[in-house]
Chain A
Amino acid sequence: MDRMHNPLIRIEGVTYTYPGTTRPALRDFSLRVEEGEFLLVTGVSGAGKSTLLRLLNGLVPHFYGGTLSGSISVAGRDPVEVGPGEMSDTVGLVFQDPEAQFVAEVVEDEMAFAMENASLPLPTMRKRIEESLNALGIEHLRSRRVSTLSGGERQRVAIAAVLTMQPRVLVLDEPTSQLDPQSAEEVLDSLVKLNKDLGLTIVLSEHRLERVVQHADRMLYIGQDGESIVGEPRDILAEIPLAPPLAQVGKLLGWTPLPLSIKEARRFATRWSSPTPSHYHPSPITHRPPTICLQNVWFGYAGREVLHGLSMDIYPGEITALMGRNGTGKTTILKLIMGLIKPARGQIETLSMNTRRTSPEAMSALMGYVPQQPDVLLFADTVQAEIDFTRRAHHLPPNGAELLSSLGLAPYRQSDPKDLSVGERQRVALAAVLAGNPQALILDEPTRGLDYIQKDALVSILRSLRQEGRTVVLATHDVELAAHLADRIILMGDGDIIADGPAREVMSDSLVFSSQVSKLFRNPALVTLEDVMRVVETG
């Protein structure tokens, strides 16, 4: 592995500790990245992925403080010595949240920001803005306001904005975790193009491996204990607990080399004697009386129609997933169900309350809502206090020990929610809502920023709620979650229901909103990894 030349990135024996903590975020960490490589960084939440990425341009330790030992060199420069400002010529860093990284209103100005800071002459700026727009294929966005762009467009603008500095390496911190599947695809396609056509070195961290792993040259995995392994994606996937469903199926069925894309897996799948679709007997649907009814509902914002005559019934003891692109009316439906907004025409009954005549306060007695960002709910300084607050609001006696242990939060009872990981905070928010003992639970995009292990934890919690006969409705982009969890999928397209039925049938019949396993087998009996396991067990 030792070569004569220096690699583009060389990290040797780095140990870094954030100020105010004792446990190092990175311990004796070493890494080499060659010019032109596409490196995928993965690991469980809190393993130090973000820290590593920020080390590359000097934000760690310059922005955060803390103690650091070891040596780093990126393109022959030492980020610890020169700092993030100077490193902006060498390392382009793109962040997770497309909302929180823009300084200007107009795309063009946003792109000029870094160059103005570097005091490049005007003609150079013009040329580089033109080139960066072309490289990302977003010439048409040049004079648009940032606030009018979709999430995918924003991320591509953010990438173009750092490309103007002509960096040697592009570093991206979970750039697609906040995006819907299509937008994520747009961003990844752009990155693959930059890597292939321009030979730009890319270091990217990601939770949802299913979309990226096929494009990466190498993969770095950082475990909970800080141990890291790096190598060919196939080899790493075979070893680590976090793997996309496709790789899990490959491992289970002993396919070698391990397939990374549906295309690679297809030839194995055709040889594998799977049950034919006729083996699939849709269980006869025995709904209980619906708990949520929408009848001919019309709704619009500011003169624009969002829903036109929508009707749907949602049943207790089932998990219903609302899916569809951004802006197809999913959030609107959730808000209508909860009575936060009232329909322009039509009727909505939630738990036999007409939302038009019931105040949100009255609805809250029977209904729980978990917003997209758990931080919207959390304010107290211990987990127990969050639970007590909800119990008090519902005039219930303080309790919650059982609830906390069922959510795996018992050890954190006296912890400050702010010190917990994203996944744990999500569960605290869930606990805070469940403490009111709601009959119906509404979740908006519950898996943002969760890794596979945290997602599994969420799945088992929601399943047990279903077991208790409660109504669960979630809006999600996460097809793997929906495949795993939902009994029923309602697919929305521009305010209309375009597909509605048992999850298996909707999945096996959709091109985009379909799990990896479902794409592979195109068989309603095989939608999740669990299905494949069941077939293997029964022979």
Chain B
Amino acid sequence: MMWNSGAAHFHVGAWLLWLLAAMLGALLTRNPLYLVIVIAAASIARNSLTRSLSTNGEKTNVTNMRLQADTASRGWGLLMRAVLWLLVIISLFKVLSLHIGTTVLFTLPEGWPIIGGPITAEGFAQAGLDALSLISVLTVFSAFSSGADYYALLRSSPAFMHQVGLITSIAITFVPQTVTRFAEIREAQTLRGHHVRRISDLLPIIMPLLAGGMERSMNLAEAMEARGFSRTPPGTRNLPPILVQSGLAGGLGLILVGGAFLAFFAPLPSVGWSTVIAGLALIVITLRAVSVRSKRTRYRRSVWRDADTMLSAPSLGVAIIVLMYKIVAPASLVYDPLSRLHIYMPPFDPVLALALAALAVPAVILRGRGRQVGRQIELESYSR
């Protein structure tokens, strides 16, 4: 069974390159047509990634996989829904408070605070555009995380980030679990006759959630401890803790001072910036000094396959094309009815559109691979 099953679909490097290309597409364009293409391409990639993950699981354990997929997707689904609602509210507020533009749809009484005044089509377009560009970033990130192997990502991070990164990667897995548990608690309390009417009614839901989270963290900490997480690797010469602490604290202090300087003494930005940079440098130097002394080894298993080349070549192409447009013809990337004060057709360039559509390439690669895997499973069941 040599096929790469579900774990990591692609090499970390190739996958990061895809993220780079997709993020450039989502962040550098402010044009509804291109943004829609980015969202569509990323969604296609995401769907094929999650699907190929579940079909791989199916081979040994259909039913459990089904439950797992259900709970996980319900968790993410809830989270995404919450974010979308938030977006809708923010956009509505934006529409009602932006009174710029020539195409007036209707007018609210001037006496109303903030929302009073003309409501314009330009305002709608602007709010929609903002929402669209946020959604595109979210979709790209959710596609990335559905195919990302955080642990492999972590291993390719510099040594001094290892501890911090590990904690972060564990924290990420806590999010969907907490959401799922929240749903569980709410169901159980609802059937106990509980309704949420006031803030204080949240107590029966929050308390078990917190207690459960605490218990989980304790169990995990114990399990990590039992496998030597906090042991000092042999051959490690530790820096005196006071040195590390003062290095980090000093760095943070410099950043804060620099930030304050930038905020309050605007005429002298160079002083502020150089203080911030000095602070950052101090932190990096301290962490590096710690990590050079750490003799922790890492287990690497990433293999660069043909599929990774097939993914990274087009990703690189997309990134370069988007950057070229940004440099050569930045206007074609942007749709800005608000500053032009009237509604017009967004600019559209088929070359750029095609390039952005190519962000769906993971789906194409996985589909090809899916066929191979299917054949392999058949062969295996014959040989039994």
Contact = CB atoms under 8 A, between A and B. Distances in A.
A322 to B, nearest CB: 15
| Contact size range, A | 35 or more
A3 B288 CA distance: 53
A509 B170 CA distance: 46
Contact of A57 (B64, B188, B226): B226
A234 to B, nearest CB: 33
Tell me if B's interface is mostly helix, strand, loop or mixed.
helix
Contacts of B65: 148
A175 interface: no
B9 to A, nearest CB: 11
Interface centre among A116, A121, A335 (most CB of B within 10 A): A116
Contacts of A328: 63
B67 A377 contact: no
A390 B195 CA distance: 11
A116 B162 CA distance: 11
Contacts of A468: none
Interface stretch (B69-77, B84-92, B318-326): B69-77
Contacts of A116: 296-299
A63 B194 contact: no
Contact of A432 (B185, B192, B211, B219): B192
Contact of B64 (A83, A326, A377): A326
Interface string B201-214: 00111111001100
Nearest to B71: A147
Contacts of B229: 85, 113, 117
Contact of B227 (A88, A325, A371): A88
Contact of B191 (A118, A304, A367): A367
A108 B190 contact: no
A114 B296 CA distance: 11
A436 B188 CA distance: 13
Interface in B178-194: 181, 184-185, 187-194
Given A100-B219, A119-B233, A114 B193 contact: no
Contacts of B301: 108
Interface string B284-299: 0000000000011111
B299 A327 contact: no
A309 B299 CA distance: 49
A95 B223 contact: yes
A101 B181 CA distance: 17
Contacts of B6: 143-145, 148
A301 interface: yes
Contact of A393 (B194, B211, B221, B223): B194
| Contact size range, B | 35 or more
A418 B234 CA distance: 41
A379 B63 contact: no
A433 to B, nearest CB: 6
Contacts of B199: none
B88 to A, nearest CB: 25
B61 A494 contact: no
A100 B7 CA distance: 19
Nearest to A85: B231
Given A368-B191, A418-B211, A436-B192, A84 B151 contact: no
Interface string A113-128: 1111111111001100
A59 B296 contact: no
A149 B61 contact: yes
Contact of B53 (A83, A148, A361): A148
Interface in A317-336: 325-328, 335
A390 B190 CA distance: 11
B198 interface: no
A141 B7 CA distance: 10
Interface string A213-233: 000000000000000000000
Interface centre among B62, B173, B301 (most CB of A within 10 A): B301
Contacts of A371: 184, 188
Contact of B223 (A101, A148, A306): A101
Given A144-B7, A148-B68, A113 B227 contact: yes
A148 B57 contact: yes
A100 B220 contact: yes
A394 B216 contact: no
B166 A103 contact: yes
B225 A85 contact: yes
Given A95-B219, A119-B234, A105 B149 contact: yes
Given A117-B231, A377-B192, A103 B219 contact: no
A428 to B, nearest CB: 13
Nearest to B72: A147
Interface string A357-383: 000110111011101010111110000
Contacts of B205: 379
Interface in B230-267: 230-235
Contacts of A393: 192-195
B1 interface: yes
B191 A360 contact: yes
Contact of B216 (A100, A125, A369, A433): A100
A389 B204 CA distance: 9
Contact of A379 (B53, B150, B208): B208
B224 interface: yes
B208 A97 contact: no
B180 to A, nearest CB: 11
A59 B63 CA distance: 36
Interface centre among A83, A327, A389 (most CB of B within 10 A): A327
Contacts of B73: 302
Nearest to B294: A119
A371 B227 CA distance: 32
Contacts of B373: none
A8 B63 CA distance: 42
Contacts of A126: 299
A377 B188 contact: yes
A249 interface: no
B7 A105 contact: yes
Contacts of A113: 224, 227, 229
Given A106-B8, A119-B296, A143-B5, A375 B225 contact: no
A494 B66 CA distance: 12
Contacts of B203: 379
A335 B223 CA distance: 33
A380 to B, nearest CB: 8
Given A117-B228, A148-B57, A390-B193, A103 B220 contact: yes
A112 interface: yes
Contact of A306 (B66, B151, B190): B66
Contact of A63 (B187, B191, B222, B298): B222
Contacts of B235: 119
B381 interface: no
Contacts of A161: 227
B384 interface: no
Given A106-B151, A145-B53, A162 B227 contact: yes
A95 B295 CA distance: 29
B297 A105 contact: no
22 contacts: A88-B228, A97-B219, A105-B7, A113-B227, A116-B298, A117-B228, A118-B231, A120-B297, A126-B299, A144-B5, A144-B56, A144-B57, A145-B57, A147-B72, A148-B56, A150-B61, A335-B187, A369-B191, A379-B203, A379-B205, A390-B193, A393-B193
Q: Give the 3 A-B CB pairs with smallest separation, nearest first.
A: A327-B63, A85-B231, A393-B193
Given A105-B7, A119-B235, A126-B299, 18 more contacts: A88-B231, A115-B299, A117-B231, A118-B233, A122-B299, A125-B297, A143-B7, A144-B7, A144-B56, A145-B6, A301-B66, A301-B70, A326-B64, A364-B193, A365-B193, A375-B211, A379-B208, A389-B204
